[in-house]
Amino acid sequence: MGSTYFSKRLKFKLIKRINVRRERTRPKSFKTEAAAKKWAEENKVKSYELKNLKSPENGTKKLVIIEK
């Protein structure tokens, strides 16, 4: 025999979490400059700038396309 208080509270939490959470759109990121250039050509982006989100000391890259 379950508690009706718990089951009603659980449903309310799930409904509240689904309605409140809005997923924001994030910019597309790439590991290589070639992949970023290919994506820009496919999506017809004429003028863009690549920004590295990782620190310069780090060996890996995470590039984001910023349209001008």
- Where do the structural domains in the chain lie, given as residue ranges? 26-68
pTM of the model as a whole: 0.60
Q: What is the CA radius of gyration of the chain?
A: 22
Per-residue pLDDT of the chain (68 residues; tens, 9 = 90+): 556 555 555 566 565 555 555 667 778 899 999 999 999 999 999 999 999 999 988 889 999 999 88
